[in-house]
Structure 1
């Protein structure tokens, strides 16, 4: 079992994957901003609680103390799906994409991705530091 197999890191990986998928959906919206009748799409919000519940567990470890963390090998079992987004504005040709909204969502998505990637990197660094000082 590697460090990155811990459920915390697997969940952070899932969150980063969700952001990558959302970036693609938002890019598609921007690309179709002038397409008549195009309905803008977005992903359902990512939920850490749901992500943890949808995982399948493999090898389980035994806790010998209540203070120990429970670790398990996990695999992703779901994928993100794009749904039609509710648009606030609709053009005369029935297009629901507003470029300003999409660009704000792209920026927010990028900032959130960078935050999750930073948490992942710092978490791995903390564990490596703890393991290197213990030996």
Structure 2
């Protein structure tokens, strides 16, 4: 087993990849803030199995028996789900993007990514010290 295959490192990599995908969706929301009828999207936070450190699916999907039976919400894009917005947050043009909320999310994503990257780097440094390569 390679050092980078350790569960803690896999969890940190998954978290950083999730932050990257979420940042793309937030940027898309901001870019479409003036598009009539646009609804903002966001990603669900990943959860991990405590024993193995692997990402666990948080939702179950229904089996589609015929193409017309189930309409999938948010199928377009990077796996994002439409964000439920309150009626008073939707502009008369039908756009539901709140730039202040999107900017707050972007800041949170940046902080979360930096923490995960720092933990990843420190974990690798600790492993190198443990095996005698500093």
- With the length of structure 1 as denominator, give the TM-score of the two structures: 0.74
Hey, which bits of structure 1, 4+ residues long, moved more than 2 A?
48-51
Q: Is the 8 A contact 2:46 2:56 kept in 1?
A: no
Q: Mark the runs of 5 or more structure 2 residues left unpaired by the alignment.
A: 58-77
Displacement of 1:53 after TM fit?
5.3
Residues 56-85 of structure 1 show CA distances to partners (whole Å, capped at 9, x for unaligned) of: xxxxxxxxxxxxxxxxxxxxxxxx720001
- With the length of structure 2 as denominator, give the TM-score of the two structures: 0.75
Partner residue of 2:34? Answer: 34
Partner residue of 2:63? Answer: none
Residues 33-72 of structure 1 show CA distances to partners (whole Å, capped at 9, x for unaligned) of: 00000000000112123972549xxxxxxxxxxxxxxxxx
Q: Is the 8 A contact 1:43 1:82 kept in 2?
A: yes
**Number of aligned residues:** 109
What is the CA RMSD across the aligned residues, in angstroms?
Answer: 2.0
Q: Is the 8 A contact 1:44 1:81 kept in 2?
A: no
Q: Mark the runs of 5 or more structure 1 residues left unpaired by the alignment.
A: 56-79
